Amino acid sequence: MPGFLVDWVRNGEPAVDRLFDRYGDIVSLFLPGIRPNIRRAVVIRDPTVMKDLISADPAQVDSTEGNRVLEPLYGDRSLFLLDGPEHRRLRKILLPPLRDKTLEEWRAMIEDVATRTAAELPRSTPVALHPRMLRASLEVILRITVNIDEKRLDDWLDPMDRLLRIAASEQFSARYLIRQTGALRRWPTFRRALTRCDELVRDEIARRRSTGDSSNDLLGMLLSAPGEPLSDDEIRDQLFTMLIAGHETTATSISWAVERLLRHPAALDRLVAESRGGTSEVYARAVVLETVRLRPPVLVFARVTRATYQLGPWQIPPNTLLLPYIRALHEQESLYDEARFFRPERFLDNPPGNYTYLSFGGGPHRCLGDRLAVFEAAIFLHALFRELQLEPDPPEDESIRRKAVTFVPSRRTRVRISG
């Protein structure tokens, strides 16, 4: 374990491949300090165990415990931290507005943000796209969750941006590991940022309740949900969950897609032709799916064993963290021909499999916003390449760099506009 950690800190992702190549597709590691009573993790790239793991009985495998790293932000009523009837009810409320019909209603807004972001890129100097995608993606998810209009947008953007930057920092990760000492509670910068955003969300909930505002957004869906009304705390936690989960991962996916396209001329030519030739985004969506297959913004999803669990040939004891390693799984030749090569065409006629494509997780806890993320990213790719001729600066591939719990391009997708 110490040797792997040193290798991983020094060399990043190649260390994970060496770990699997040396010990096999299921590797047990001593990993204290993540959660009370959890002292061991099992890292997995074996595709033969994925279906059983994703479909495992909740009495044996907990799908929520691994998400608690963000409980200080989401709140304890977040969909990510619930299971059983409560989870199913909230999922039933939130899923319909994140499917295809409603997505089309948001198209004009997303296109406006994407076109404006592309137009504002500097023409005379290289620019890192990732920070700009973060800001643009935050505007999109704010409008989708709480329908913030342009007059009030600035009141929300800066406080939310500040909180999300803190949440994505190494300091947040380090303080979470020693949270029993009060490292998060006694962190004034974090507490002030969280309190300000909490006030914004709760004030908006109160305003909607008092005025009967039925805006067509996620807050409106939560307020008008059938059955027993949701409490302010429940609504607040779902909004924070969607704002946080639907922000950085989408921005990172767009950034990686640009990085990959600029190093694959044939794919780039096809994407440019589509973006300039009409309204279809079929190829752009295939580009996004292929990008997050090879460059998933989050490289693992987590499960925790509640009882002894049979994982392939191994019996895993209770209180073990199970970590399917998404990128390593997706590079298995048994699942994808030329698995390590960027081939968007593979998804033109074949949709991703439920147990072989796990960039959005799987099973009952699969990401609610999977279609929104692909839809939004495809629109951004068209906006960026419709009018602009982008070149990588420099031309070499950008490596995978860890940024707290996400994995981003090492130079933040540095590009230059030419022509």
> Structure tokens of 126?
């290289």
Is the Cβ–Cβ distance between 40 and 28 less than 8 Å?
A: yes
CB 221 within 8 A of CB 93: yes
pLDDT at 335: 96
CATH superfamily of 67-293+363-418: Cytochrome P450 (1.10.630.10)
Give me the helices (H) in 295-369, please.
Answer: 326-330
pTM score: 0.94
Query: Distance between CA atoms of 173 and 57, rounded to whole angstroms?
Result: 30
Q: Are 329 and 45 in contact (CB under 8 A)?
A: yes
- CA 58, 59, 63, 67 torsion-angle sign: positive
DSSP, collapsed to helix, strand or coil, labels residue 395 as coil
Q: Which helix (H) or strand (E) holds 310?
A: strand 309-311
Residue 244 has a pLDDT of 86
Instruction: Say which residues have a Cβ less than 8 Å from residue 110's Cβ, sequence separation at least 6.
Output: 140, 375, 376, 379, 380
For residue 295, give the nearest of 381, 225, 373, 399 by alpha carbon: 399
Instruction: Yes or no: say if 130 and 258 are a contact pair by the CB < 8 Å rule.
Output: no
Q: What integer pLDDT is reported at residue 100 of this predicted model?
A: 72
Phi-psi region of 42 (alpha: psi -120 to 50; beta: other; left: phi over 0): beta
Rounded CA separation 274/277 (Å): 5
Buried b (16+ CB within 10 A) or exposed e, 1-16: eeebeeebeeeebebb
HSE-CB at 223 with a 13 A cutoff on CA atoms is: 20
- Report d(CA 100, CA 124) in Å as an integer: 39
Residues 408, 119 contacting (CB under 8 angstroms):
no
pLDDT of the chain along its 419 residues, tens only?
A: 557 767 776 777 888 889 999 999 999 988 765 666 788 899 999 999 999 999 999 999 999 877 777 788 889 999 988 988 999 999 999 988 888 778 899 999 999 999 999 999 999 899 999 999 999 999 999 999 999 888 889 899 999 999 999 988 888 878 877 877 888 888 999 999 999 999 999 999 999 999 988 778 899 999 999 889 999 999 999 999 998 888 899 999 999 999 999 999 999 999 999 999 977 899 999 999 999 999 999 888 899 999 999 999 999 999 999 999 999 999 999 999 999 999 999 999 999 999 999 999 988 888 999 999 999 999 999 999 998 999 999 999 999 988 877 889 999 999 999 86
* 161 dihedral zone (left: phi>0; alpha: psi -120 to 50; beta): alpha
- CB-count burial class (<10 Å; 0-12, 13-18, 19+) for 135: middle
Alpha helices in 217-247 (DSSP H): 218-223, 232-245
Give the C-alpha separation, 215 to 119, whole Å.
29
- Enter the DSSP assignment of 311: E
Whole-angstrom Cα distance, residue 202 to residue 55? Answer: 36
Please state, in angstroms and rounded to a whole number, the distance separating the CA atoms of residues 20 and 22.
5
Report CA 310 to chain centroid distance, whole Å.
29
Query: Is residue 188 within 8 Å of 133, Cβ to Cβ?
Result: no
CA atoms 222, 224, 228, 229: torsion sign:
positive
What confidence score (pLDDT) does residue 410 get?
95
Q: Domain boundaries in the chain?
A: 67-293+363-418
Question: What backbone torsions phi and psi does residue 401 show, to the nearest 5 degrees?
Answer: -120, 135
Contact 112, 380 (CB under 8 A): no
Q: In this predicted structure, what is the pLDDT of residue 33?
A: 58
